[in-house]
Chains A and B, each alone.
Chain A
């Protein structure tokens, strides 16, 4: 296992190189003309303007040259300059990262806890009404288009019922809390500002639910099946023979074993979350990386979309690596081997 982890670590830079190359190539085969994003329509006929802009953005060099320049900059953490915001893409992403992190973390917490809870209920009351209800709730979550469920839930809970706040991270005129972590809920608590915390929470809760619900489905399904498998094991009978009540049997003995195989899908869940985050942020006007990517894609802002894709792929790789490491540490058998 250790050797496997090492191999994964070594493969990481190679994969990153592959990813960066693919992304660069994609940005080069573009048919949609990036110039149209840079130059107003009426200036297009002015060759001097076009040439200047091309030179300014490096569009006049040859392909290998551009590749080397691109890679050289990438190594220094330079993702290029956004066509539309005219700021370095890395700056844009860094500025929007906390918003996305806050959303994704909240969604992950909701998705995992509800998924584990529903999975336990479904397994404990297998083939009963509770089982079916839990599974259907989970299945709907992972089948719903988040850009639609977000819309509908926003309409119901914000517009009709007024239980939660509308789009955005805070109300329109509220000043954000002093930035420590960048997560408004955490920062407002650190600043001891309870009203602000509640406001941030009111904005966070619905998008986090919408995004988390899509994870609930995967987690429920997995916990249920691995729990059922674990409950069939001999050590469960031993636990019962020791006089353990059913709650201890399930939560202490079976769940522990069921969680280990479930860990392997953490990375996969993360891909789901990224997909969901892109769309959820768009619906909820959440100023994170996802909505940034969407507006970049809409305006054919290549450096921006390429930058986001690169960062997303890196995060995904990292998530998979973390998954493997966690798995290795959670499973006592793996620890000493290899």
Chain B
């Protein structure tokens, strides 16, 4: 689909060689180890991986939202402007104004002692001082309405704990789009929600993207979440991207054992749950990461070289894969296995 564009627009987000490390008692440990990503305006990028894979850290790093004592290097250009090393005061005008963020658990992400309306109005007033408090609240009401929250007039003056989980996430989204940003980063936006509510939230995000032309980065551990909504997918493991490609390529033509593992672990509509095979073992801690390919202790195809050399991300078939055996991976046990992928 990218081929028929006569002139590629400048990318919305262009990340190159991004690294982020945290300080521990025995020095720094890298949580993100050289990530390259590109997102075009109005497109959706899914970043997938288990917890601890560095997917959230990558996004928080470019917004300078990591806890104190962490180090970020490399480059992250937002509409051509370098975010890494940007002065705090300048960064402040990008956060919330041009880049909106949606967090995983909307209960803890909202301030418990301020009303939802106050918090949305604040998001507006922080970037436009001409807006009065009253105007801010009126606009908060409209925003709640636009994310399909019933009775927005009553809702603006309620506290976060008075909202249900799904309503809170809608309010969170309303707050993130309050200043019509160009980019929305959604960090596990549906993880804390019921399955039916999940679908509603994903629909809402999709609708907003279409209506407002917002670029969206969708961070999730669940391939199912990105299957229906992403244009491109980056799979992360151990602080690196292990596979990247267009959504249908990653789903049907994956060349990485970890992605395969994730696909097998993904529940599908027609499944009765019997064939689900979770990946054995747990993802490595950033404080004790194995040498070589970070995935090799859990990989069914691992060979001697995997423990020694960390593979580069290279083109393989349709996607880019960081596996020594990307070209020679045995075919999937049963091709029919993936027929039902919810695309």
Contact = CB atoms under 8 A, between A and B. Distances in A.
Contact of B95 (A242, A253, A256): A242
Given A244-B122, A244-B126, A235 B109 contact: yes
A257 B95 contact: no
Contact of A256 (B60, B65, B114, B161): B114
B325 interface: no
B77 interface: no
Contacts, number: 71
B251 interface: no
A253 B109 CA distance: 12
Interface residues of B, number: 29
Contacts of A260: 113
A243 B113 contact: no
Given A237-B103, A248-B126, A243 B97 contact: yes
Nearest to A232: B67
Contact of B63 (A234, A239, A241, A257): A241
B49 interface: no
A248 B92 CA distance: 12
B313 interface: no
Interface residues of A, number: 23
Interface in B86-125: 88-89, 92-97, 100-101, 103, 105, 108-114, 122-123
A333 B110 CA distance: 13
A331 interface: yes
Interface of A: 233-235, 237-246, 248, 252-253, 256-257, 260, 330-333
A243 B93 contact: yes
A253 B127 CA distance: 17
B65 A241 contact: yes
A241 B88 CA distance: 12
B315 to A, nearest CB: 35
Interface string B60-93: 1001010000000000000000000000110011
B175 interface: yes
A237 B111 CA distance: 10
Given A242-B95, A253-B114, 5 more contacts: A233-B108, A235-B108, A242-B123, A243-B92, A243-B97
Contacts of A242: 95-96, 122-123, 126, 175
A332 B95 contact: no
A30 B332 CA distance: 94
A330 B114 CA distance: 11
